[in-house]
Structure 1
Amino acid sequence: MKNKIRLLFLLAILLSLYLTSCKNKSEKAIKTETNTVVNVVEDKKDTIKFQSEEKEESKTLDNFKSRLRPDEQLELKTIYNDTVTFLSYDDNYDYWYFLVKKNKDTVQIMYHDIPINELVKGDIISIKWELKILQEAGDEDITYVKPYLASFNKISSKQPVDKKITVLWRETLYNEELKTDVNTIVLNKDYQKNITEPERAALGYVATFVGNECEWDGGKSDENRSNLKCKLLSYLDLGYQCSNKHIGFLNRWFSKDSIALNKLKNCPTIPNGATKQSTFEEISMETDTKMQTITISYKVKFINVRESSVSRYTKIDRFSYDLEGITLIDSEKIANNSFVISCGSGCAMIYTENKIVINNNSSEVVFKVEMFINEVLSKEYYETYSYTCSPSNDDTEIKLKGDDEFNMDDLHPEVLKQLKLYMPKLCIN
């Protein structure tokens, strides 16, 4: 009997030791698995951020989060659509991934057999993606949840390319509503499809301070003057003049330019028909990707109705840019000589210096002439005056090019006065 009791006691001790051993082995396996994750992270340093981000993004299997949509509760097997900025890609590991920017966050997205390598840094893309549970390569027991690309569509390239282009000019076109020809702003529609974000910011800044056929949406201003619709701003998809969309976009892009930011605080709301107003006559733009500069040259006409005066100037603004921002680095204003004469019965003619050509003894001044009838542009053309210089400016001969019967005495006194002012410039004795 004693032997049986002793045998049962020994069996109980052995069973206890076995169970303890199994328990220790299980605990050790869990620790080894944890250590394996650490080793994987250490071996693939490029994925450290990726794995640590995922622990933040998806803490439990029923509470999925991602910085692509930080304020939403996400679900598996659901396709989401977002617009992001492409940064880079890496297909050197078992799982391929690319980096995008959404708002201020950088997010890693997994993909496979999709031509991400066709994109360049700064491209704006629309993506369809879902959350997927992925297994660690070589260890199926380690899983994690990551955004996974289903498809993408390139919207536009934010990466500028070298270009010289005319963005805006003026033409006289027939207006169906007014039933007459009207001189109006014309915009380059082909360029609109390929405009980059830095160029959009530079043009948006220039457009803020010069009139571009701005009219109150609905016919009159609201209490806050917040419904001024301008032609160039609409072309740039920046909303109403001085709106949150307009100024907010520029504030982000000019965030490192304190001078520009201060100027934007005084955003003007001046509609067509105001007593004092300006308008674009032409905008040209040159982008230099090597120097990372955008140069905008624009011609402006300023009208003071109260004083019946018109002045013109050309301005050249030069911006430096990178993927994150833009800065105005240089600005030059060149006044264009212009004068107004009355031709009677509501008729006025504006002469604006367009070009000067200086030769040894014969020079030319080209004027753009605009005829207004009751403040509506009815005709525009160019007049070229040639100067045959002599030792005495009083003997300098002025002729209207292309008119063999021209006589200086037939000129309007103001035109003759202005033409004589050019003699010291053109005739250097």
Structure 2
Amino acid sequence: MRLVHVFLTVLAMAIIGTGCSETNEREKSQNAEAEQTSKEEKTEETTTVSKRDLPEELQDIPLPTSAGKYAGDKYDEEKVEAELDKIPQDASEKEIQKKLLALLGENYHPYIDFFESFDTAVNAGGNEPGGVKAPKLPEEKKVNIMILVDASGSMAGRVDGGVKMDLAKQAVKDFAGKMPEGANVSLTVYGHQGSNHQKDKAKSCKSIEEVYPLDTYDEGKFNQALGQFQATGWTPLAGAMKKAKQQLEGESKAENIVYVVSDGIETCGGDPVQAAKNLHTSNINAVVNIIGFDIDEGQKALEAAAKAGGGEYSSVDSKVDLEEHFEDEYDRLWDEWEEWGNKNWDKAQNIGDKKWDEVNEIGDKMWDLAQEEGDRIWDAATYLYSEKDLDHAKEVRSAFFKRQKALRSYAFNTQKELRSEVFSNQRKTQSDVFDKQREEQRKTLDH
């Protein structure tokens, strides 16, 4: 009996031990399942639907912020079905939807963000040609144009077509009227006091006066300034350039251009070449252009001054020459505006085409993605309905079909709207470019 008792005790201990072992295994299995469930829940949490900044037509559909476990290229039908088999029979419609999104849902936010932030503007028309002998007017850059007119006694002389001073004034008047829109203009006269006799030399050489202060062009005031002086004295050309440099101090960020109209060399002891060089090489970086009127022996000196000033020298000997000089400039300006118009028309076309293609590409990709995702979720919901006879499977399938339709409609309609805006803006810009070109070309004919 004692042996039986011992045997029974040992047997009981063995049974208890086996039971404990089975219990431990069951607990381990339950813990593993719980851990897996936790991981899946966390995965589903990463695809929490977000309605932040969504367009109105997508507010009522679930949109994960990250792609599902088997979305896109990771799709595997067998693995998906294995995951679907884990869904409990009594799962709610919401739970089934959440599971399908976690498995197969795509991330549409990059496409939506692209559409909602897309800039349909088509901008062209920069780098416009400037006025006669003026450089191109940079966008948002200040331009100062200083005109220096020689009023020495020799300018009272006649050439073929009239008095040099009268012709010079008319040329300057036309010239100033053709400056780039928004440019500042200044008119300075030199040698206009005293006379060209020796006794008045000191007075005349000091007579350098800005009769039209640097400002935007006003035709009435500018013409009034031209009427304030006549040809009478000596030629303080270097002094006039020095004064121009003083007037431009503090204008280092602007584009500064100096134009000189003169019929002779320096007669007041100054150094025009050095003065022009100082204008050009200083921080104001001015460009000095010189029009030599009826010049003989002084031409080389004026050419040297223009070269030192980083500009150009032009020589005219009569009214016809002066008119032809500016006629050539008007022709050049017409051609520059023609080139500008063609270039910026094409630029607007290219920008519009590029933006059109971008919208097309993203719209097509979103449409295709919604189609692919919708088909896969439809198949998954059908599997739950036909193979597992899962409650709510048909309702889920219907809901996802509506979702697919909403996504495709959004992609199609937004693509269409943005393309229309791009095309409209492109045509508007091209029309503005054409109008600006014709407006500026007409100005060259109105001189």
- TM-score > 0.5 by shorter chain: no
- Select the structure that is richer in helix: 2
> TM-score normalized by structure 2?
0.22
- Which structure: larger Rg? 2
Task: Name which structure has the greater RCO, CA cutoff 8 Å, separation 6+.
Answer: 2
> TM-score normalized by structure 1?
0.23
- Select the structure that is richer in strand: 1
